[in-house]
Each structure stands twice: as C-alpha cells, then as structure tokens.
Amino acid sequence: MLILLSALLTAASANEDGLARASTPDWGADPATGSSDVATEYAVGAGDVLDVRVLGETDLTGAFVVEPDGSIRFPLLGNVYVSGMSPQQVANTLTRRLNQDFLVQPQVFVRVGTFASQPVEVTGLVQKPAVYYLEGPTTLRELLARAGGIKDETITEVEITRDAQEIVIRYEDLYGPGGDLVVRSRDQIHVPQGKAVYLLGQVGDPGAVSWRDGLTLTQALTNAGGLNETAKINKVYILRDGLRIEVHLKRILKGKEADFVLQPEDQVFIDQSRV
C-alpha cells in the first residue's frame, strides 16, 4: 500500500470558518528593520491588514486595512499606496513621508497582521479542504501540509489550475521536484479520487492498491504486503467487468509466463491453500 501523504506532512490548523488567515510572529527578529525574513518576502495586497507601530506615537500606531485600490489610509499622510511592497518597504515609505513634514527621525515598524490577499483553493481528497492564504513563498508540498495532507491512499496525481491552464503532478513526484512547485495566488489545487485495484484473500494487507498505467499482478501483490504463507499460487482469479479471468501465478513467479497487467477496478482473489 502507498503511505498516506498525511502521515508524512505536518498538518497546519485553519480557523473556524475554514479560511486560513494566520498572523506573522511578533514584531520582527531584527530590531533595526522590525521584520522577519518571511515577512520581507511577502508582497502586500488588497485585503491584508497591516499592523503599524510608530515608536512614541500612539496616534499613529494601529491596524490598517489595504483597500481595493492598494492603499492604506494613514493618519497625517492620507492614502499611502502599499500594494506589492514588502512589510519593510511599507515601513520605509511611511518613515520617509513622516520624516518629510511631521516627525524627526521616526521609527516605524510594520508586519502583516492578517493575510487575506493571496487566496489558494484546495479541494478534493485532503483532510481540510478550504481556501488558504499565502504568507510568503509556499511550495505545493507545504500547502498540502497546511491542508492536513492527503487522506486517500489510492490517489495518483494532484491537479493545479492556473490561469485557465492545468498542471498535473504525479503522486510520487510530490516528494521531489513536483512538490517543490511554488504555489501562486488564485491557484486552484484539486486532489482527485485515484484509480485502484483490489486484492482480497491471502495477502499481507488486503484492500485497495493504487493503480498506475502498466501495473502488473506481481507489483500489486508487493504493494499489498506480499503473499501469505497459506496463499494458493497455482491459480488466482481476477474479476473484471463481470468476467472471471484465471491467471497462473505460479508460472509467472517462476518466469515461465508473462506478468499479468491489471486494469482499474480489477479485483484479485487469492485463495487459501489446502496444505
């Protein structure tokens, strides 16, 4: 059987309404900039809420929503365009403009209090399907972890819809370059029901085995934990579309007969030997 992706990925929690809007850490680790490395990489957009702190100026400290036009309404300055800036760039902009006419060497710190401008929808066979909001550069593997991981062991691929185009990542590639794909705002990620074959009877782990093109009987048996000692290997039976197909497994195992190629929804029955 395939190992569930959810067992390998760390789940991340979403809020009660299913929309993952998380806060950044406390004011940045670097006291000179007031921003963390992750926050520095994040591009602010409409819907985000910025927490702004101006040292010694309580009237200028608070939470400011990025409006649809990409600006925040800031005391003394009016509308300040911030869309596309990092939190540190916003702080630099506010510092410069306050210094021009209002304050002497102001110290301004900015962080994202609520992420809400870069939605990604995750649907299908994940533990927590929902709309998630990017908080910086995020890979497909990381986002699936936030969604609790994949909950079905027979899935074979993940589909990403981006700008009306579809990107398909194979399940086995999620642990390699495929999982390193950087997710973009407004991507739609879907984990579809996979195709499977079913092994019943004298196998180590009876049940569904993920099907892939070219899957053979011996490969499926290996994925199902192998044959039990009591398995009858002279003949096995495969039920396909109402037909019963007899396969000489013993001859296949001895290399005297070609391996049998399975099709989706095949049911393989391994009887118990009388010995």
* Burial profile 18-51: b = 16 or more Cβ within 10 angstroms, e = fewer: eebbeebeebbeeeebbbbeebeebbbbebbbbb
Choose between 220 and 172: higher pLDDT: 220
Q: What's the whole-number average pLDDT of the chain?
A: 86
**Mean of the pLDDT values across residues 164-178?**
91
pLDDT for 235 = 81
pLDDT confidence bin for 192, thresholds 50/70/90: very high
Q: Delimit the domains of the chain by residue range.
A: 5-12+117-191, 23-114, 196-270
- For 5-12+117-191, CATH number? 3.10.560.10
Q: Is the pLDDT reported for residue 73 higher than 90? A: yes
Q: Closest Cα partner for 170 from 189, 157, 155, 154?
A: 157
Choose between 81 and 273: higher pLDDT: 81
* Same fold across 5-12+117-191 and 23-114: no
For domain 23-114, give the fold: wza like fold (3.30.1950)
Under CATH, which architecture does the 196-270 domain have?
A: Roll (3.10)
pLDDT for 275 = 59
> Could you report the per-residue pLDDT of 107-123, keeping only the tens digit for each?
999 999 999 999 999 99
By the 8 A CB rule, do 144 and 122 touch?
yes
